[in-house]
Amino acid sequence: MRLTRQRSSLSILAALALLAISANLVGYSAANPYRLAGIVPPDSETYPPVITISSPVNNTAYNTSRVPLTFNVTAPQSRTASYVTVDRVTYEDDWRKEPINVLNGAQEQPSFNLWLSNVSEGQHTIVITARGMGQITNEKELSYKWFFISSSATICFTIDRTPPTASFLPPENMSSTSAVPLNLTVNEAYSKIAYSLNGQQNVTVTGNTTLPQLATGQYNVTYYVWDAAGNIGSSETITFNVVAKNEPAQTPPTAIAEVATIGSTALIVIAGLLFYFKKHKPNTKTKIKKA
């Protein structure tokens, strides 16, 4: 019996709700006698939607294949329209080359936080297109007209996941009274360069540089290079010597051995020549015959 009463109560509530909705629809029709009179072009006082892109940043390099696509769209501005909104937003990237619909409905200021995945290395372009719509009301004729107006924005960026390469010629043995030049070659544009001497803390420089006068001894130096995307590359580690001023150059052991060999050969040749000439020396004495 209780269950039957509950079902009866629900039926009554449902009927009352339907009556209320019907009454509202009737009232809405009576309060809005305006009719759609067609679609017209936007007038000269109507401006298209504004697209503001936060990411990717234009003409920026990224060292990842997953980049956020973040932007928002503002509805058209019009002095003659009684109502404006954004009704459609798409974007198209160069690696897929087909529009991707991200909004298909009325919003005054939609925002988007998307992700671009598996983006290949190289330069890329994204074109975002937004369509706005507005309503122009004619009070005298009790009619209204729709207009549509679109805008687009293009963003360019680069995916670079390859570290730069750097190389430089090793300096010759330097005097302790001379500065040591370091001439560097980098294979791409860079944002930062630093070097480390004997494994010490990095020293940031703008490019080719000169080390200050160093005490006598052996040194090693390594260059580090950052490219625009943030990748870090390093050069080979170069070792060089700094010698004291007026210090005689040390002859390599191989050179000493060669000199000794040449000297020994020369002595053997000279001794042979002396023996030859002594054996074949002409007899200059004259014999005197007895009478």
> How does residue 262 score in pLDDT terms, banded at 50, 70 and 90?
low
> How does residue 276 score in pLDDT terms, banded at 50, 70 and 90?
low
Higher-scoring residue by pLDDT: 179, 122: 122
* pLDDT for the residue 169: 80
* pLDDT for the residue 285: 47
Q: Please check whether residue 285 lies inside any domain of the structure.
A: no
Considering the domain architecture, whether residues 82 and 152 belong to the same structural domain is answered as yes
First-residue to last-residue Cα distance in the chain: 189
Q: Which of 159, 184, 200 lies at the terminal end of a domain, its last residue?
A: 159
Q: Which of 159, 194, 219 lies at the terminal end of a domain, its last residue?
A: 159
> How does residue 270 score in pLDDT terms, banded at 50, 70 and 90?
low
Query: Residue-wise over 224-233: b if at least 16 C-beta within 10 A, else e?
Result: bbbbbbebeb
Higher-scoring residue by pLDDT: 279, 205: 205
Burial of 159 (0-12, 13-18, 19+ CB in 10 A): buried
Whole-structure pTM value: 0.66
Mode of pairing for the β-strands spanning 203-205 and 232-234? unpaired
Burial of 117 (0-12, 13-18, 19+ CB in 10 A): exposed
Q: Please check whether residue 272 lies inside any domain of the structure.
A: no
Interval 187-225: pLDDT, tens: 999 999 999 999 999 999 988 888 888 888 889 999 999
**Full domain range(s) for residue 220:** 166-243
Considering the domain architecture, whether residues 76 and 147 belong to the same structural domain is answered as yes
